[in-house]
Amino acid sequence: MAEAIAAQPYPYPLPPLNQLALVIIDMQRDFLEPGGFGEVLGNDVSRLQAIVPTVAKLLTRFRALGLTVIHTLECHRPDLSDCPPSKRHRGKGSLTIGDRGPMGRILIAGEPGNGIIPALTPQPGEVIIPKPGKGAFYHTHLSDELQQRGITHLLITGVTTEVCVQTTMREANDRGYD
């Protein structure tokens, strides 16, 4: 019998490790560092630094076990063709998506602020999923990556828990992932 975690309403059976992936959502400079999009929106980004050591420990353990690691980046094409106007204009901060900020154009693929923070830099072989929306499955190749690897269970972590993390969790559940 497989090991299980004590939980309610029933014990949760653990999957074989090769069916488990770590999904790290949007640990980007634009969201976590001063001068990025998160701060422009009025967030105290210093508070987000508290999760970095925990995410780094998870990442280190998954790497040590040779398990699948997936990083997501909320980002858009330079011409913003994949960014709906409603998303671009939401927030009404001093800068919006695509504007030039202290770390380059905000939430634009390839710009310095769009990169993952140094403490969690992806290693060769780790999956990077650029995503134009909140969820990691929307207009991405995440499903294909998971299917190719035989992944059935996801451990999801990251920033903007109430937005991108929860959206990804619900998208995963709708697709049959635990």
Q: What is the pLDDT of residues 12-60, one digit of tens each?
A: 888 999 999 999 999 999 999 998 888 888 889 999 999 999 999 999 9
As a whole number of angstroms, the distance between CA 130 and CA 109 comes to 8
What pLDDT digit, counting tens, does each position of 52-91 carry?
999 999 999 999 999 999 999 999 999 999 998 888 877 5
Q: Choosing from 75, 83, 131, 134, which is the catalytic residue?
A: 131
| SS3 (DSSP) at 101 | strand
Topology of 22-174 in CATH?
Answer: Rossmann fold (3.40.50)
82 catalytically annotated: no
Q: Choosing from 30, 75, 83, 164, which is the catalytic residue?
A: 164
75 catalytically annotated: no
Q: Choosing from 26, 30, 75, 83, which is the catalytic residue?
A: 26
Q: Name the pTM for this structure.
A: 0.94
Asked if 163 and 134 touch (Cβ cutoff 8 Å), the reply is yes
As a whole number of angstroms, the distance between CA 37 and CA 103 comes to 9
164 catalytically annotated: yes
The confidence score (pLDDT) of residue 92 equals 64
CB count, 10 Å around CB of 157? 17
Asked if 30 and 167 touch (Cβ cutoff 8 Å), the reply is no
How does DSSP classify residue 119?
G
